[in-house]
Chains A and B, each alone.
Chain A
Amino acid sequence: MTYTTDEMMTVAAARSLRDGTSCFVGIGLPSTAANLARATHAPDLVLIYESGCIGAKPGQLPLSIGDGILAETADSLVSVPEIFNYWLQPGRIDVGFLGAAQLDRHGRINTTVIGDYADPKVRLPGAGGAPEIATACKDVVIIVRQSKRTFAERLDFVTSAGRPSMIITDLGVLRPRDGEFVLTQVHPGIEVSQAIEATGWPLRVSADLSTTEPPTPSELTALRRLTG
């Protein structure tokens, strides 16, 4: 089966989630990947949305983090103060699954402004749940399309500063080595030079660089059922 680079990214992100763990899910790419994991190898993955839905099991992708389908299928439905104070803050949740508008070589995220804070070129949505998700979850994974604009030499604003273990993109996978993110994996058909070209800092390449397994037909079928 042929597939797009976005599909490869989503499949790679889904594979990073282990069955039986809990995942605090951001909207967009992270939500698609987390739901794909549940639909494939991780049926007992617990999806947690900041709207207060714990153990949501949507049959189709929600547009927002608070769609009715999440509430209807949740094991438990709690208030917003409770989801942050009782569930996220104490470090109960295994993985925080986040997107980013801009990130740096340390895996810090900017979703606040491009340009000066007081006089921004582009005003972005802001922090949402991310600062606390990035620091309170045991592990953090970032899913984002890779480009020079997104993978910035310097952030205009630090919105969230966690310690992600992985950045999964449409070109490959980056992991931290000696304090900065390096390319450890490329997706099939992607050249290392493309990943370097799409990074705003001098991207180092790991000596043990590997190639991602392409999506299987069953992964693609499950993904297209979700997004279709």
Chain B
Amino acid sequence: MARIASLAEAVGELVHDGDQVALEGFTHLIPFAAGHEIIRQGRTDLTLVRMTPDLIYDQLIGAGCARKLIFSWGGNPGVGSLHRFRDAVQHSWPVPLEIEEHSHAGMANRYVAGASGLPFAVLRGYTGTDLPKQTDTIKPVSCPFTGEVLTAVPALNPDVTIVHAQRADRKGNVQLWGITGVQKEAVLAAKRSLVTVEEIVDELEPRPNAVTLPGWVVTMVAEVPQGAHPSYAHDYYVRDNEFYKQWDAISRDRDSFGQWLAEIR
């Protein structure tokens, strides 16, 4: 049974300096409040894992929490670049950032392997790209039955995965719906997990297409209304596209980012 705690308590207990941490949510249900709590608690040397670093990792990277990033697409969707990510890669600011770069299909399959308890996943991917020259976690593998050369990528098993969901019950059973991304795999792949939720309810009513994470596979649950903002929570609030556009200016230079960071801290 998942333990219900405050966000500060849960992050304090589950996220340690130097951990490999995955905060997942594909455009939808991105756990921003938990990211901000990691910044407030001053975690450092994290290996951040996420398919789309998005604003949340731009913030963590700019705040100096990360040593390494494992990812597949680092932009501000529909807006442009992630300036803090760029500054870290191009100028090692505020600290050097090592990168391990994949495609979406590769990252998704790495989580699948992690959730499945397998050492690696197989896909037909990365054909003709330069990625395998730069990323040593992309290797060819031959099918033992047909001889076809495919691509192998190793499992991801984060020390802790954090996701946001619409709701949980008092036993810590979690329910999320809408675009569910890779959250189920990311939670099942992890050694520890934290789910922040919009609300804790007495009973989870069935929802079409919902993913349920039973409380016994979740370590901790924290109630954090608006915890995905400026991302969104389907049936609770919409994506704050204006903030995504404003982030471009906020993050573009170190000073204006510094002002934003001071408010968060």
Listed by A's residue number, 6 A-B pairs whose Cβ atoms lie within 8 Å are A66-B181, A67-B241, A89-B124, A131-B103, A136-B124, A160-B129
Stretch in contact with the other chain, from B34-42, B71-79, B166-174, B212-220 = B71-79
- Chain B residue numbers with a CB within 8 Å of A81 are 108-109, 111-112, 182, 185
CB closest residue in chain B, given A70: B179
- Chain B residue numbers with a CB within 8 Å of A52 are 26, 179-181
- Chain A residue numbers with a CB within 8 Å of B67 are none
- Chain B residue numbers with a CB within 8 Å of A62 are 78
Contact of B239 among A67, A77, A85 (CB under 8 A): A67
- Chain B residue numbers with a CB within 8 Å of A64 are 27, 77-78, 239, 241, 244
Q: Are B74 and A125 in contact (CB under 8 A)?
A: yes
Q: Are B244 and A63 in contact (CB under 8 A)?
A: yes
**A101–B51 alpha-carbon span in the complex (Å):** 20
In this complex, how many residues of chain B approach chain A with their Cβ under 8 Å: the count is 53
Total contacts A to B, CB within 8 angstroms? 167
The answer, yes or no, to whether A9 is at the interface (CB within 8 Å) is no
**A53–B180 alpha-carbon span in the complex (Å):** 10
The answer, yes or no, to whether A5 is at the interface (CB within 8 Å) is no
- Chain B residue numbers with a CB within 8 Å of A128 are 52, 72-73, 75, 103-104
Q: How far is the CB of A227 from chain B (nearest CB, A)?
A: 12
The answer, yes or no, to whether A65 is at the interface (CB within 8 Å) is yes
Q: Are B130 and A135 in contact (CB under 8 A)?
A: no
The answer, yes or no, to whether A25 is at the interface (CB within 8 Å) is no
The answer, yes or no, to whether B128 is at the interface (CB within 8 Å) is yes
* Given A80-B181, A126-B73, A126-B74: A131 in contact with B129 (beta carbons within 8 A): yes
- Chain B residue numbers with a CB within 8 Å of A129 are 73, 103-105
Q: How far is the CB of B6 from chain A (nearest CB, A)?
A: 28
What 1/0 mask marks residues of chain A from 121 to 144 whose CB sits below 8 Å from any chain B CB? 111111111111001100000000
Q: Are A159 and B239 in contact (CB under 8 A)?
A: no
Contact of B109 among A85, A125, A135 (CB under 8 A): A85
**A53–B239 alpha-carbon span in the complex (Å):** 16
* Given A63-B79, A123-B85, A127-B129: A77 in contact with B103 (beta carbons within 8 A): no
The answer, yes or no, to whether A27 is at the interface (CB within 8 Å) is yes
**A155–B91 alpha-carbon span in the complex (Å):** 22
Q: Are B78 and A80 in contact (CB under 8 A)?
A: no
Q: Are A66 and B26 in contact (CB under 8 A)?
A: yes
Chain A residues within 8 Å of B, Cβ to Cβ: 27-28, 50-53, 62-68, 70-71, 77, 79-81, 84-85, 88-89, 108, 112, 117, 120-132, 135-136, 157-162
Q: Are A123 and B128 in contact (CB under 8 A)?
A: no
Q: Are B89 and A120 in contact (CB under 8 A)?
A: yes
Considering the complex, which residues of chain B in the window 51-86 have a beta carbon less than 8 Å from any beta carbon of chain A?
A: 51-52, 71-75, 77-79, 81-82, 85-86
- Chain B residue numbers with a CB within 8 Å of A158 are 128-130
- Chain A residue numbers with a CB within 8 Å of B178 are 68, 71, 77
- Chain B residue numbers with a CB within 8 Å of A79 are 180-182, 184-185, 211
Q: How far is the CB of B78 from chain A (nearest CB, A)?
A: 4
CB closest residue in chain B, given A157: B130
- Chain A residue numbers with a CB within 8 Å of B27 are 51, 64-67
Considering the complex, which residues of chain B in the window 85-121 have a beta carbon less than 8 Å from any beta carbon of chain A?
A: 85-86, 89-90, 101-105, 108-109, 111-112
CB closest residue in chain A, given B211: A79
Give the most central of B78, B81, B126: most A CB within 10 Å: B78
* Given A51-B28, A127-B102: A159 in contact with B73 (beta carbons within 8 A): no
Q: How far is the CB of B257 from chain A (nearest CB, A)?
A: 16
Q: How far is the CB of B174 from chain A (nearest CB, A)?
A: 15
Q: How far is the CB of A5 from chain B (nearest CB, A)?
A: 20
Can you add 4 more A-B contacts, CB < 8 Å, to A125-B82, A127-B73? A51-B27, A64-B241, A71-B179, A159-B130
Q: Are A63 and B105 in contact (CB under 8 A)?
A: no
The answer, yes or no, to whether B18 is at the interface (CB within 8 Å) is no
Q: Are A66 and B128 in contact (CB under 8 A)?
A: no
The answer, yes or no, to whether B146 is at the interface (CB within 8 Å) is no
**A120–B211 alpha-carbon span in the complex (Å):** 40
CB closest residue in chain A, given B239: A67
Q: Are B123 and A89 in contact (CB under 8 A)?
A: yes
CB closest residue in chain B, given A160: B129
**A83–B245 alpha-carbon span in the complex (Å):** 27
